[in-house]
Copies of this chain bind each other. A is one copy, B any other.
Amino acid sequence: MSTPDAELRRRRRALRKASRSVPGHGWSHPAEELERVAACARANDLAQDHYGQGAVIEDLEDEVATLFDMPAACFMPSGSMAQLIALRIWADRAQNRHTAFHPTSHLELHEEHAYRELHGLEAHLLGDPERPTLARDLAELPALASLLVELPAREIGGQLPSWEELLELVAAARERGIRLHLDGARVWEAAAAYGRELAELGALFDSVYVSFYKGIGALPGAALLGPEDVVAEARVWRRRQGGTLYTALANAVSAHTRLPEQLQRMPSFHARAAAVAPLFAAVPGIEVLPDPPQTNMFHLLLQGEPAELELARDAVADEHGIWLFGGLRSTERGARTEIGIYGAALELSDAELQGALESFGASGALRA
């Protein structure tokens, strides 16, 4: 990602605020969600929670456990905390420090190797980084306590194994006595893409992490789902990691009240991604990965200099009022960015987006 100066950052914030967006939920003032939660707390005369206890937390935990048809759930302040705790519990139970996940897993790339530095786990990175984990990746590994599977795999454009490949992977892990943990940062989106119920995914895994702030668009928060005893132990680890907070009312109410509507909309996000991606791919110098998208998410590879491409994007936002993509990072294959299709893109017509993309293509920043 290029590092623009303060003046450019200010201009971009203003542009994003004024524009309709292709990726994401669309701009909203940070006060808006707090106001919505406060109004809900007033209307329902909600009582304050207290260190993880209280109806606002427990109702949310019940709701997500029910959605996945799993015995129990525990609210967590973050997904990083939820997943580390799951892997630690499975390791302790198996008396085996070995776990495994995709080379681009959040745990490998974005958590400062907490699994090793904090929990003393050893991780095996599975298979080709450019494709999802498959059953054959488990061959020739030492005995594992757990396997973490991210559905979809975010860093490779939201790729999913086919349902059959997923069942094969699960069967291969079960055969080896490996506990299966689902990195469900975007599991709502995965279920919509598979055309499956969340409970069908829950049935395949021993523990599941779900996130509330990404696809659901709520305040930060997550949950860890699993057997009663595992979730009870997770509450102990949540306290150890410093995640049992005096109150999480705003986060829990935000998540709980957004879930039903956002879950209903997930299939429309996937469908919109399928329609939007070809419009990008039609522009010379832009490649879509994977093509076609397998979920509501895909990556763009743009040929050109990131800083120039971002200025061209800014100019399109100025002219068309449409924000095409977020920050770009340089890769060997071009400037790369992630597009997650949520509510914002539903408000854009194909013709409007095509017009914006034609301007972008004509800017000269793309090397076709």
A124 to B79, CA, bound (A): 33
Q: Chain A 213-230 against B: per-residue CB contact (8 Å), 1 yes, 0 no?
A: 100000110000000000
Q: Among B48, B77, B246, B250, point to the contact of A250 (Cβ < 8 A).
A: B250
Contacts of A162 in B (CB 8 A): none
A250 to B30, CA, bound (A): 9
Q: Among B42, B78, B84, B244, point to the contact of A31 (Cβ < 8 A).
A: B42
Interface residues of A in 174-201 (CB under 8 A from B): none
Tell me how many chains of this kind the complex includes: 2
Q: Is the CB of A243 within 8 A of B78?
A: yes
A239 within 8 A of B: yes
Q: Chain A 35-64 against B: per-residue CB contact (8 Å), 1 yes, 0 no?
A: 101110110001110000000000000000
A228 to B59, CA, bound (A): 42
A30 nearest CB neighbor, chain B only: B48
Q: Chain A 118-130 against B: per-residue CB contact (8 Å), 1 yes, 0 no?
A: 1100000000000
Q: Is the CB of B246 within 8 A of A243?
A: no
Q: Among B29, B30, B247, point to the contact of A30 (Cβ < 8 A).
A: B247
A34 within 8 A of B: yes
Contacts of A42 in B (CB 8 A): 29, 31
Contacts of A77 in B (CB 8 A): 77, 242-243, 245
Q: Is the CB of B239 within 8 A of A80?
A: yes
A30, A110, A245, A246: which has the most chain B beta carbons within 10 Å? A30
Contacts of A219 in B (CB 8 A): 247, 250
A237 to B80, CA, bound (A): 12
Interface residues of A in 55-85 (CB under 8 A from B): 76-82, 84
Contacts of A350 in B (CB 8 A): none
Q: Is the CB of B240 within 8 A of A114?
A: yes
A111 within 8 A of B: yes
What is the distance, in angstroms, from A4's C-beta to the closest C-beta of chain B?
Answer: 14
What is the distance, in angstroms, from A240's C-beta to the closest C-beta of chain B?
Answer: 4
A41, A219, A245: which has the most chain B beta carbons within 10 Å? A245
A13 within 8 A of B: yes
What is the distance, in angstroms, from A356's C-beta to the closest C-beta of chain B?
Answer: 24
Q: 3 tightest A-B contacts by CB?
A: A81-B242, A114-B240, A80-B242
